[in-house]
Amino acid sequence: ALVIIISQQLIVDQATGNYMLNEAGSAIATVDGNSGVALTSAAFGSAISWFPFVLAIAVILFAFSTMISWSYYGLKAWTYLFGESLITDVTYKAMFLVFVVIGSSMQLGSVIDFSDAMIFAMAFPNVLGMYFLLPVVKRELDEYWADYKAGRLHKSGHAANRS
């Protein structure tokens, strides 16, 4: 779906004249220097006068729903690490609100760079953990296939009697 949306956006921007390929045909040069949501708003606004207002509402709702989901995900990770209590809950929520204020006062590029760095910081230990759990996963998979081939599995996929 994302590929279709991006492809459609590029068609709309080009049809409205809001961006053009450079002489080499490799990079996009915008007419007004717009990018991101501003480019989308200008492109659709040139054909549908009221669309920038609809887009503004959609972007605000998307940003708000993203903050809610990241807050919930972060809170669950935080309470997993530090335990569930009122103190850990309030501490995380206060830190989250401080970072929302800091993030809203920064340039978008800096926020995205920080976000990408934090996602990498979460991914790295997970990949490392998967590497160390590989022997356990291999052993469990071998046991599963042995039970499957021997016909010892119920419909639920669990072995009836493992000796």
pLDDT digits (tens, 9 = 90+) for 85-110: 999 999 999 999 999 999 999 998 89
The verdict on residue 10 lying in a domain is yes
pLDDT tens, position by position, 34-90? 666 777 777 777 777 888 898 889 889 998 999 999 999 999 999 999 999 999 999
Strand partners for 28: 21
In this prediction, residue 112 carries a pLDDT of 87
The token pair that represents 113 in the structure block: 């760079």
The verdict on residue 154 lying in a domain is no
pLDDT band at 18 (very low <50, low <70, confident <90, very high): low
Structural domains in the chain (count): 1
**Residues 6+ away with beta carbon under 8 Å from 34:** 18, 41, 42
The verdict on residue 16 lying in a domain is yes
Find the mean pLDDT for residues 138-159.
Answer: 83
The verdict on residue 81 lying in a domain is no
The verdict on residue 37 lying in a domain is yes
The verdict on residue 152 lying in a domain is no
The verdict on residue 66 lying in a domain is no
**Do residues 134 and 127 make contact, with C-beta atoms less than 8 angstroms apart?**
no
Residue 35's domain comprises 1-48
The verdict on residue 28 lying in a domain is yes
Does residue 153 sit in helix, strand or coil? strand
Mean pLDDT over each residue of the chain, to the nearest integer: 81
Stronger pLDDT, 15 or 86, i.e. the higher one: 86
Distance CA 144, CA 138 (A): 10
In this prediction, residue 13 carries a pLDDT of 53
Distance CA 104, CA 159 (A): 53
